């Protein structure tokens, strides 16, 4: 009976040591992968360079790679759309201003810069200071109050 308890205790000790070793190995793998993901999120590492050979967490690794590929695809699509819209906005002969709720100009296309800029950039300036035309400022105020797009045609 005493020998049986010694064998049982030794077996339990071996199992506990084996499980501890597996736990520590898995923990090191997860920590390494977490560091790699953090580096990729900060732009220090490409998502394509994330490790793929991490034992015991292949499913997580594959899921992160699929997510990164989907993100890269969406980012490329958005960048292409942004470039296309920027090209259209730059080629418009009508002045276009995008103004925030505080009345500060966030974006002005080249035509608006030419009309209202007087050699200065319009971004960051207030609508009233940039436009210096009472009808246009009044149109912006109506837009702000109504919460709807307002259009007005003014010859300058």
Write down the pTM of the prediction.
0.50
Contact 37, 64 (CB under 8 A): yes
pLDDT tens, 62-103?
777 787 888 888 999 999 999 998 899 899 888 888 888 888
Does residue 153 surpass a pLDDT of 90? Answer: no
pLDDT of amino acid 78: 93
pLDDT tens, 34-46?
777 777 777 777 7
Is 88 in a helix, a strand, or coil?
Answer: helix
135 Cα distance to chain centroid: 38
Interaxial angle between packed helices 58-91 and 2-41, expressed in degrees from 0 to 180 and rounded to the nearest 10: 10
Distance, in Å, from the CA atom of 113 to the CA atom of 131, rounded to the nearest integer, reads 10
Provide the pLDDT confidence category of residue 132 given band limits of 50, 70 and 90. Answer: confident
């Amino acid at each position: 009976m005493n020998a049986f308890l010694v064998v049982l205790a030794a077996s339990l000790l071996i199992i506990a040591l084996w499980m501890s070793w597996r736990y520590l190995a898995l923990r090191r793998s997860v920590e390494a992968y977490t560091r790699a993901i953090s580096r990729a999120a900060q732009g220090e590492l490409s998502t394509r360079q994330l490790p793929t050979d991490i034992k015991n967490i292949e499913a997580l690794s594959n899921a992160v790679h699929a997510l990164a590929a989907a993100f890269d695809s969406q980012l490329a699509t958005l960048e292409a759309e942004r470039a296309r819209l920027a090209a259209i906005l730059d080629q418009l002969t009508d002045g276009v201003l995008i103004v925030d709720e505080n009345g500060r100009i966030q974006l002005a296309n080249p035509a608006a810069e030419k009309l209202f800029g007087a050699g200065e950039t319009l971004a960051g300036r207030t609508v009233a200071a940039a436009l210096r035309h009472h009808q246009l400022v009044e149109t912006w105020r109506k837009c702000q109050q109504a919460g709807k797009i307002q259009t007005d045609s003014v010859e300058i």
